[in-house]
Every structure is written in structure tokens, then in C-alpha cells.
Amino acid sequence: MPIIEMHMLVGRSVEKKRKAVAAMTAALVETLEIKPETVRILITEHTEEHFAVAGVTVGARENVSAVPLT
């Protein structure tokens, strides 16, 4: 039983999350040759101040456009 954990920033619509879950499930069903009922996906959403890259929160990065996310 595969368990997928998705961490993302808050703000995506329910529709987009449902599409992502369906696409990941389909990919696992095809590649692992398993039944969809065995796939578990957990979505955890984080605020801009609870998600950081290279020691800078996303909220701080949005205030300083010179710091790239990648």
C-alpha cells in the first residue's frame, strides 16, 4: 500500500488538489500494477511563514523579489 505525502503552500483550489490526487493515483496504478483502493495520499498545506527555502520563508521571499525560489 503506497502512501504519498504532498506538502504545498495554501491557496490551491479543491479542484486542482483533486486533479493532482487522481493523476498520482493513476500513475501509481499503472507503474506499480496495483489497485487504486490501495493508494493513500496525504495533503498537508503550509502558510507562507511555515515553508522556507534556504533559510528564508516564502513570505519573506515575496517581500524581497531579489531572492529566487530555485
Domain that holds residue 13: 3-63
Q: Is residue 68 part of a domain?
A: no
Number of domains, the chain? 1
Q: Is residue 54 part of a domain?
A: yes
Q: Is residue 69 part of a domain?
A: no
**Exposure of 7 in the CB half-sphere (CA atoms within 13 A):** 6
pLDDT, tens digit, for every residue of 7-63? 999 999 999 999 999 999 999 999 999 999 999 999 999 999 999 999 999 999 877
What's the CATH number where 34 sits?
A: 3.30.429.10
Residue 65 has pLDDT above 70, yes or no: no
DSSP 8-state symbol, 39: -
Residue 67 has pLDDT above 80, yes or no: no
DSSP 8-state symbol, 67: S
**Exposure of 53 in the CB half-sphere (CA atoms within 13 A):** 11
Q: Is residue 70 part of a domain?
A: no
